A and B are shown apart, each in its own frame.
Chain A
Amino acid sequence: MFGYITVNSEGLSDQEKARYRTYYCGLCRALHRKYGTLSRLTLSNDMTFLGLTLSSLYEPAELQNAGICPVHPVRKQAYLKSAALDYAADMNILLSWYVNQDHLLDDHSANAGLMIRRLKPYYTELSQRYPDKCKQIEVCLDRIHVLEAQSSVQLDTLCHLSGRILGEVFRWKDDIWGDALRCIGEALGAFIYLVDAMDDFEKDQRRRHFNPLTELHSQPDYFETMRQSLTLIAAQAAEALESLPLEQDIGLIRNVIYSGIWVRYEQLLSASQKKEKKS
Chain B
Amino acid sequence: MNGDPFQILGVSSQATEDEIKSAYRKLAKKYHPDLNPNSPTAEAKMKEINEAYTEAMRIKKGGGSSGSWYRSQSSDYQYSGFNNWQYDYRPNDASQFQPQFQATYDYISTSRYYDALQMLHQIPDRNALWNYLAALANMGLGNRLTAVNYARSAYQMEPGNAQYRELYEQLSAPARSYQQQGTHYGYPMNSLCSNPFISCIAINLFCNCFRCGRCC
Contact = CB atoms under 8 A, between A and B. Distances in A.
Contacts of B149: 225, 228-229
Interface in A263-277: 263-264, 266-267, 270
Contacts of A254: 185
Given A71-B210, A156-B144, A187-B69, A235 B198 contact: no
Given A232-B174, A247-B21, A262-B192, 6 more contacts: A163-B70, A225-B149, A234-B178, A242-B17, A263-B189, A267-B193
Interface string A233-274: 111101110110111000000110111101110110010000
Interface of B: 17, 20-22, 24-25, 28-29, 32, 34, 50-51, 53-54, 57, 61, 65-71, 73, 138, 141-146, 148-149, 152, 172, 174-175, 177-179, 181-182, 184-189, 191-198, 201-202, 204-206, 208-210, 212-213, 215-216
A26 to B, nearest CB: 11
B216 A245 contact: no
B212 A235 contact: no
A170 to B, nearest CB: 12
A10 B197 CA distance: 10
B177 A258 contact: no
Interface string A9-31: 11100000100110011001000
Closest 4 CB pairs of A and B: A235-B178, A259-B186, A11-B186, A236-B69
Given A8-B195, A9-B197, A232-B172, A160 B70 contact: yes
Contacts of A4: 198, 201
A209 interface: no
Contacts of A234: 178
A127 interface: no
Contacts of A164: 70
A71 B195 contact: no
B140 to A, nearest CB: 12
B32 to A, nearest CB: 8
A263 B69 contact: no
A157 B213 CA distance: 39
Contacts of B188: 262
Interface string A194-225: 00000100000000000000000000000001
16 contacts: A6-B201, A9-B196, A17-B216, A24-B216, A71-B209, A155-B143, A183-B67, A190-B69, A232-B144, A232-B148, A236-B174, A255-B186, A258-B182, A262-B187, A262-B188, A264-B201
A82 interface: no
Size bin of chain A's contact surface: 35 or more
A28 B175 CA distance: 34
A186 B68 contact: yes
Given A41-B208, A43-B208, A186-B68, A229 B25 contact: no
Interface of A: 3-4, 6-11, 17, 20-21, 24-25, 28, 40-45, 59, 61, 71-72, 77, 111, 115, 154-157, 159-160, 163-164, 167, 176, 179, 182-183, 186-187, 190, 199, 225, 228-229, 231-236, 238-240, 242-243, 245-247, 254-255, 257-260, 262-264, 266-267, 270
Contacts of B208: 3, 41-44
A159 B146 CA distance: 11
B172 A228 contact: yes
Contacts of A160: 70, 73, 142
A10 B186 contact: yes
A4 B189 CA distance: 15
Nearest to B17: A242
Contacts of A44: 208
Contacts of B17: 242
A235 B174 contact: yes
Contacts of B174: 232, 235-236, 239
A171 to B, nearest CB: 12
A186 B70 CA distance: 7
Contact of A7 (B34, B61, B67, B197): B197
Nearest to A240: B68
B209 A186 contact: no
A235 B186 contact: no
A20 B67 CA distance: 29
Given A245-B28, A263-B197, A239 B182 contact: no
Contacts of B181: 238, 242, 258
